[in-house]
Amino acid sequence: MPSDLPLRPVTFSPSIPEIRFIEQTLLPEVYKEESATTVERLALAIKRLEIRGAPALGVAGAYGIALAALTSPSTEYTRFINDIENAATTLRATRPTAVNLFYGINRALSAVKKHNDIDTAKTAAIREAEEVADEDTRTCHAIGEHGLTVVPHTCTILTHCNAGALACREWGTALGVIRSAVKNGCIVKVYACETRPLLQGARLTAWELARDGIDVTVITDSMAAPLMRKGKIDLVIVGADRITSDAVFNKIGTYMHAVCAKAHSIPFYVAAPFSTFDEDAVESDITVEMRSRDEVASFGGKITVPDEVAVYNPAFDATPAELVSGIITEHGIFKLPEDLIKIKIIRTNTKGTMS
């Protein structure tokens, strides 16, 4: 893909209709776009992490409802709505932790149900899905702008997993802050943790940043602590898949980086849109997705764990709010729990992202 074109990991063509997406499990070795013309294919892409990243899942979820509306064979309204609701159920079942997926699905589904005419409902689904996508673009750029206030002019940033353009509609959240800083003249070096077991940092974050000409070095997850101790890290910026009133859920391994950052007096920031907040919930309410044994038990086609040995493979961990220096959003930077009331007020007065 030409490096001068913006990364768009998920796009929608209503006229076909189809959802096109970058098949992210193939990166960095192969850049390939795939398409989903059915909700079932989209659901499989989400399960397999062909499409991944909380904001991108929100966009995909909204597009999925629009796709379901356009491909429904029903000519009777009640059956049409039943088709859309079944599609929503299928998509919601793919990944339980990332709240943006549910946000995008619910936005588009609500738009459909506001209309009693099938053709009008289809048009509304397309319009709402595209608005979810456009909002994410505006949101990521706003996150980047707000993040400028915490990035020193010359600095080294540690990030974990991939919270970049590949995880959003474009630009990124954590990487959006980095991109905005570089665009504004900051001299930024990035350490990207490889992010075991699926290497989203090594495969995706490093690929994105190298494509943009941003100085990036990949390290194993266990190298972060000694680099902090040696004074090689100025701040940590990560993304989030869900933010409750007391914790930030992000890719497994995030918590240990937060603990190490605290021990070495290094700022630890989370960059995420308001749609990632689940502020009425607490950590114990959330179901953490469990991934397959094979993701850990094999590597590069080789068996790395004896067959008789069990594997524990949660996709995410929870970082307690007190370890987070601030949450960089499109509406500014907030800290939990002290800014919880402010967050709830903004959520009440907006859809959760920029309007």
Enumerate the active-site residues. 241
| The pair of three-digit structure tokens given for residue 320, joined into one six-digit string | 């307690």
- Cβ-based neighbour number of residue 336 at 10 Å: 22
**Closest listed residue to residue 143, CA positions, set 105, 169, 104:** 169
Supply the angle between the helices 39-47 and 54-71 in degrees, to the nearest 10: 160
CA distance 274 to 331: 8
**DSSP letters spanning 98-144:** -HHHHHHHHHHHHHHHT-SSHHHHHHHHHHHHHHHHHHHHHHHHHHH
Residues 6+ apart with CB under 8 A from 314: 252, 288, 289, 290, 291
C-beta of residue 289 within 8 angstroms of C-beta of residue 254: no
Instruction: Specify the DSSP class assigned to residue 37.
Output: S
d(CA 286, CA 250): 12
- Residue 284 to residue 172: CA distance in whole angstroms: 28
Torsion of Cα atoms, 119 then 121 then 122 then 126, to 10°: 140
Contact in structure between 17 and 37 (CB atoms under 8 Å): yes
Q: What is the residue whose two structure tokens read 């990991």? A: 9
Backbone φ/ψ region at 205: left (φ over 0), alpha (ψ -120 to 50), beta? alpha
Distance CA 53, CA 186 (A): 26
